[in-house]
Amino acid sequence: MCDVGHCFGLDLQGLEAFGAGMAAQDRPLVGMFWMVLTGLNFVAVTAIVKHVGSDVPAAQGAFLRYLLGLVFLIPMIGPIMAARLTKRQLKLFAGRGVVHTIAVILWFYAMARIPIADVTAMNYLSPVYVTLGAALLLKEALPPRRLAAVVMALIGAIIILRPGFREIDPGHIAMLGTALMFAAGYLIAKQLSGEVSAAVVVGMLSITVTIGLAPFAWVVWVPVSMADVGWLFLVACFATAGHYSMTLAFASAPLTVTQPVTFLQLIWAVLLGALVFSEPVDGWVVFGGAVIMASISFITWREAVAKRRITPTAHQTKG
């Protein structure tokens, strides 16, 4: 799943687990509808962050967004208090908070420097890093076809950046770091998701990142207008709505159906950048993003096939 949602305070791993726990049904059109709505919510988030732009330093803007979003954490306080987390789990949550804090700062920085389409396309790299990290750190299998898909995704990133043919902005470097840090956070969440509830995983992320962003925000703090505070609160609202609709998409259809729909986010990002922020349309960015998205969709499909082989459905077990 494309990790644009990671930037906005709630957690894809926790929501995916929550969605899996709901009554999953084979309703592909419904799942696609909710995923389209998810993309629109996240594009709204990127538009607002782009609008705030350099008026608020990246670390301060990220901190205010998370601080204002804590209001959505209230229903999760009870499960967190009842979880009785071990020292190991607290260390994992703290480590995840650190990498996610760095990722969010880098993402806000990139949004102020490079086109929305570039940010959106490079966000698609996060699941690729997750696949590599799972193979290297968690010793998960990386069969040749999946490895080929990873290589194709990295080629897509090179198409977007085109080193030697265009100037690479620090914002592009920041996005490479963003995707890498989000992937690290996802791998930690994968370890925790089987030990604690989705509410705890989501809630602890919001708490640790808010705490982690505080010192960075204090260092660069500037006076902020009430208008910008309002915009950043809207970011929290759209992000929460996006994660909720994403959960409904997970519950309605398998990832093999909803995954390709996330590519629409790139199309909307291109249109938004061109029509609202007068950013030039870069066909290479769209092409590179399509290559990455196709690779991720292939990986998702292969994982679904492997799971079906391991756990046959009811009709497959009937002789």
The residues spanned by each domain of the chain are 3-310
Which segments of the chain are extended strands (E)?
Answer: none
Report the predicted TM-score, pTM, of the whole model to 2 decimal places: 0.79
- Distance from C-alpha of 146 to C-alpha of 185, rounded to nearest angstrom: 21
**What's the helix, strand, coil split of the chain in %, to 5?**
80, 0, 20
Structure tokens at 10: 């709630």
Query: Is-contact 150 128, C-beta < 8 A?
Result: yes
Q: 65, 184, 59: which is closest to 109 by C-alpha?
A: 59
pLDDT at 20: 46
pLDDT at 77: 85
pLDDT at 319: 41
Q: 215, 221, 193, 216: which is closest to 205 by C-alpha?
A: 193
Structure tokens at 59: 């670390």
- Distance from C-alpha of 16 to C-alpha of 273, rounded to nearest angstrom: 30
- Distance from C-alpha of 64 to C-alpha of 45, rounded to nearest angstrom: 14
Structure tokens at 219: 């260092």
- Distance from C-alpha of 213 to C-alpha of 210, rounded to nearest angstrom: 5
Q: Tell me the backbone φ, ψ of residue 115, rounded to 5 degrees.
A: -60, 150
- Distance from C-alpha of 113 to C-alpha of 132, rounded to nearest angstrom: 28
pLDDT at 9: 41
Radius of gyration of the chain (CA): 19
Alpha-carbon distance values, 199 to 78, 162, 281 (Å) = 9, 41, 40
- Distance from C-alpha of 242 to C-alpha of 254, rounded to nearest angstrom: 18
Query: Each residue of 82-111: b (16+ CB within 10 Å) or e?
Result: ebebeeebeebbeebbbbbbbbbbbbbbbb
- Distance from C-alpha of 183 to C-alpha of 40, rounded to nearest angstrom: 23
Unique residue bearing structure tokens 């995983």: 201
pLDDT tens string, the chain, 319 residues long: the values are: 344 444 444 444 444 444 444 444 577 788 889 888 988 898 888 889 888 877 889 899 999 989 998 888 888 888 888 888 899 999 999 999 999 999 999 998 998 888 888 988 888 888 888 888 888 877 777 788 888 888 898 898 899 988 877 788 899 999 999 999 988 988 888 788 778 877 788 788 889 999 999 999 999 999 999 999 999 999 988 988 887 787 788 778 776 677 777 788 888 888 888 888 888 888 899 999 889 888 888 877 776 666 554 333 333 333 4
Q: 147, 100, 159, 83: which is closest to 302 by C-alpha?
A: 147
